[in-house]
Amino acid sequence: FFFQAEDGIRDYKVTGVQTCALPISGSGSVAADRRRCGMLLLGISLVFLTAGLLTPETSGSGTLRQLGLPGCLVRQLTGLRCPTCGMTTGFAFFVRGQWLFAWQANPAGFLLAAGMGLSWPVLACSVMGRAVAVTRLLLRWLPVLLLLWSVFTGLQWFVWVLTGTWF
């Protein structure tokens, strides 16, 4: 698609308005997609690298204390696990291939780690200029996938509050 744009020339010697055709889609959007993919790829890589440097707690939660962070404030105040309790531990198990332990630490964390792991090669290909169509599909559906993941996270927490177990 193109649109016509005036260049602003107003001179008695010019017998008309000078125009040019400027693209409104095309290579600029591919470059922007590659930048977004590069940022996502960097973020995912840093999360997995950090998880790989941590030793997962066998209790299923508490691994984030190795990062110098306090334990879960919700758990300290209420005695209940919050929806994200165990995610750091789950990621630490996930990067070691101990997926059952990752699921047991926090099912939503396992699904998030799996989604990030599956998207990593697609994002890497996109940054290198390949898999553009797949990447655009991923970027288009990413908000929906994150919304579904958030709903799952809330549901798993609700089940935990009612039953005392994840699933």
Task: Tell the residue number behind the tokens 């797949």, with chain if given.
Answer: 134
> Which has the closest alpha carbon to 48: 145, 157, 124?
124
> Which has the closest alpha carbon to 101: 86, 118, 85, 120?
86
Under 8 Å CB-to-CB from 7, ≥6 apart: which residues? Answer: 18, 19, 20
pTM: predicted TM-score of the whole model, two decimal places: 0.73
State how far the alpha carbon of 167 is from the alpha carbons of 104, 125, 148, in Å: 9, 35, 17
- The identity of residue 26, as a single letter, is G
Task: Please list, residue by residue across 47-58, b when 16 or more beta carbons sit within 10 angstroms of its beta carbon and e when fewer do.
Answer: bbeebeebebbe
pLDDT value of residue 28: 55
pLDDT value of residue 108: 92
Mean pLDDT of 116-143: 84
pLDDT value of residue 164: 79
pLDDT value of residue 14: 54
- The identity of residue 166, as a single letter, is W
pLDDT range class, residue 30, cuts 50, 70, 90: confident
For residue 160, count other CB atoms closer than 10 A to its CB.
19
pLDDT value of residue 9: 53
Give the integer Cα–Cα distance in Å for 88 and 39.
Answer: 21
**What are φ and ψ of residue 20, in 5° steps?**
-145, 155
**Confidence check: pLDDT of 26 > 60:** no
